[in-house]
């Protein structure tokens, strides 16, 4: 059985949703960041990065959301969460998820974890001040150029959808009005109605 290590209000929600959408057999293990459990020796043996998500498989641990999402799609092909037989279409999904991971999530992190990049309080404050602008710029690009609709890649739900949904739930906290991005907002509302979200919502707050 798979074991997903997650924390509430983290990007691990995307992997949790994908496991549900795939109909996977798994156990969800909560890592309590308020108690600094991500830095505990027990969890660092799971993921030395001290972050979530981490997915324990029969062959070892996987980390990083794009990798975990792709693994779920590959190991549960009947769920059709990715076009595994179409290299170009699959590459587009990987490009989108990579953008969320490498650019959008990092822009968001400057609001809450500026200490990763600077020690000077003034520099950290400046990073926070910039977040509404940088996050909004990311979502403007998604809205205008990357989102096909009604799902990210068009008519078919894929592993890009739980990831976009997860990061889109952070918009208000980053000082961005989601109404500026009607396609993304409609997608977020649509995801809230899916059975997978209803099943995992309580665990993620």
The answer to whether residues 71 and 95 belong to one domain is no
Tokens, residue 171: 């918009």
Domain interval for residue 122:
87-194
Q: Is the pTM of this model over 0.75?
A: yes
The answer to whether residues 110 and 179 belong to one domain is yes
> How many CB atoms are located within 10 Å of the residue 172 CB?
10
The answer to whether residues 104 and 62 belong to one domain is no
Separation of alpha carbons 145 and 72, rounded Å? 27
| pLDDT, position 55 | 98
Sequential pLDDT tens for the chain (205 residues): 999 999 999 999 999 999 999 999 999 999 999 999 999 999 999 999 999 999 999 999 999 999 999 999 999 999 999 999 999 999 999 999 999 999 999 999 999 899 999 999 999 999 999 999 999 999 999 999 999 999 999 999 999 999 999 999 999 999 999 999 999 999 999 999 999 999 999 889 7
The answer to whether residues 144 and 187 belong to one domain is yes
CATH number at residue 17: 3.40.30.10
The answer to whether residues 133 and 165 belong to one domain is yes
| pLDDT, position 89 | 98
Q: What angle do CA 77, 79, 80 make, to 5 degrees?
A: 70
The answer to whether residues 28 and 53 belong to one domain is yes
Number of domains in the chain: 2
The answer to whether residues 64 and 122 belong to one domain is no
For 15, 27, 150, 197, the CA distances from 178, given in Å and listed in that order, are: 23, 33, 16, 19
Separation of alpha carbons 43 and 29, rounded Å? 11
Backbone angles phi, psi at 8, to 5 degrees: -60, 145
Tokens, residue 105: 């999530």
The answer to whether residues 38 and 129 belong to one domain is no
The answer to whether residues 45 and 108 belong to one domain is no
């Amino acid at each position: 059985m798979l074991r997903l290590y997650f924390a509430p209000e983290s990007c691990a929600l995307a992997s949790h949703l994908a496991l549900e959408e795939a109909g996977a057999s798994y156990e969800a293990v909560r890592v309590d960041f308020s108690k600094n459990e991500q830095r505990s020796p027990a969890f660092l043996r799971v993921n030395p990065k001290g972050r979530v998500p981490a997915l324990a498989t029969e062959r070892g641990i996987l980390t990083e959301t794009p990798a975990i999402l792709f693994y779920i799609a590959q190991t549960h092909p009947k769920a059709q969460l990715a076009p595994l037989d179409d290299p170009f279409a699959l590459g587009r999904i990987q490009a989108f998820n990579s953008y969320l991971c490498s650019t959008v999530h990092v822009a968001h992190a400057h609001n809450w974890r500026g200490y990763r990049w600077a020690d000077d309080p003034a520099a950290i404050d400046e990073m926070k001040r910039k977040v509404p602008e940088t996050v909004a710029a990311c979502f403007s690009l998604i809205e205008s150029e990357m989102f096909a609709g009604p799902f990210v890649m068009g008519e078919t739900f894929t592993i890009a959808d739980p990831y976009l949904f997860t990061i889109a739930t952070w918009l208000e906290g980053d000082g961005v009005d989601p109404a500026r991005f009607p396609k993304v907002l409609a997608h977020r509302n649509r995801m809230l109605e899916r059975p997978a979200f209803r099943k995992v919502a309580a665990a993620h707050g």
